[in-house]
Amino acid sequence: MEFLQITSHDDYRVEQIFKSYSTTFPAEERREWPQFIKLFDHPNVKIISVLNHSENIGYLIIWELTNYVFVEHFEVFAEFRNQKLGSHITDYLFKNYPRIILEIEPEDLNEDAKRRFSFYKRNGFNLIDETYVQPSYGEGKKSLPLWLLANYTPENLKEVKDEIYDIVYH
């Protein structure tokens, strides 16, 4: 498995990533195209194409923050799911980033949310906040109650949330 950082929105993989991102994540949980391409100019963001046998099978959108990495989006494309590829991606994250935080829908929302929560628990993440609210991604979009998960226990959760709000959602 290879992990290649995409440094320009002109990269041929970006169209495939954005198309899947737009259909997988509900409108309230994602950026629109103009906001999405601005990510490539942000110094804290890495958009990583995940390849398996030279085929693009998914992506990561991560933010390198003060002393942890925030995984904003993580997706294995639909046609490659249920092949244990997601576990390989979390292995990559753990090997490269000792402190990882991500947000997910509460497990009681639906079966998919329950399955995702179970996946992250199996892969080394723990629930650190059930009161987190993802800010709106923009006009006409709502804030969402989500859960924060991490592979460590942050010393000051309020500082972590404030930094996510100030940098990722600003």
- 45-54: pLDDT as tens digits: 999 999 999 9
DSSP-derived 3-state class of residue 148: strand
Alpha-carbon distance 4 to 56, whole Å?
10
- Tell me the mean pLDDT per 10 residues along the chain, length 170: 96 95 92 96 96 94 97 93 89 95 92 91 95 91 94 96 94
Residue 70's pLDDT is what?
A: 98
* Nearest Cα to Cα of residue 167 among 43, 61, 6: 43
Helix crossing, 111-122 with 85-96: angle to 10°? 50
Place of tokens 């994540």: 25
**Residue 42 corresponds to which tokens in the numbers above?**
């942000």
Q: Are 69 and 62 in contact (CB under 8 A)?
A: yes
CA dihedral 2, 11, 5, 73 (to 10 degrees): -90
pLDDT digits (tens, 9 = 90+) for 50-80: 999 999 999 999 999 999 999 999 999 989 9
Instruction: Enumerate residues 6+ apart whose C-beta is below 8 A from 6.
Output: 13, 14, 17, 40, 47, 48, 49
